Structure 1
């Protein structure tokens, strides 16, 4: 239960729709030349940094790995609503998921407590 309560931080869940839906919508409401700025700043820099943050947040709080799909799904909602282009929106959602996975699994590639494990070279014996 503690694991779930740590992930239910309202600040984290408020930032998901703000970055995924509201930020691109604000760039869409700006005058014509801001579309390229939206693409570079909001969709690449801010959202990719936010993907790293989401992956680190979920790993740090011991969250279920299924929650990694929430951020790309919120971004896909903005694509389905027409806020972001379908031409690149699906690919960016997939890129955000991959970046989250990298951030979530960072540091898990080596066994930390390998020295503390019991050797089983001769098979299991009474301790």
Structure 2
């Protein structure tokens, strides 16, 4: 239950369907060059920034890593509902997952205090 309280921020869970379903639905209703511009702005700029936000948000709130799959699944649901073509929609879902994963694990590549640790291979001989 404590884990659920960490991720129960309603803004976070409302934004995912908005970016994955409502914005693509609005873009689908556009025509001509506005539609192309809307797809580029939505897929490449807004959703990538949102993917970074989701990864950082989940890491800062101490959430489980498997919640990273929720945003790409909601986006792929939009592809299933024909809001984006299948030809590139699923690939963008994979790209968003990879971007989230990078944002989630960012800064965890190395141990920051590795030089300050005491080696204990032979045991600590003398404690003062």
Normalised TM-score (structure 1): 0.91
Q: Which residue of 2 aligns with 1:27?
A: 27
Q: Which residue of 2 aligns with 1:16?
A: 16
Q: Deviations over 1:71-119 (max 9, x none)?
A: 0000000000000110100110000000000000000011123245331
2: CA distance, partners of 1:99 / 1:2: 27
Provide closer, same or farther for how the CA distance between residues 20 and 119 of structure 1 changes in structure 2, counting only shifts above 3 A: same
Three-state SS of the structure 2 residue aligned to 1:34 is helix
Give me the CA root mean square deviation.
1.8
**Structure 1 residues without counterparts, runs of 5 or longer:** none
Q: Which residue of 2 aligns with 1:113?
A: 113
**Structure 2 residues without counterparts, runs of 5 or longer:** none
The answer (yes or no) to whether the contact 1:3–1:61 under 8 Å persists in 2 is: no
Aligned length: 127
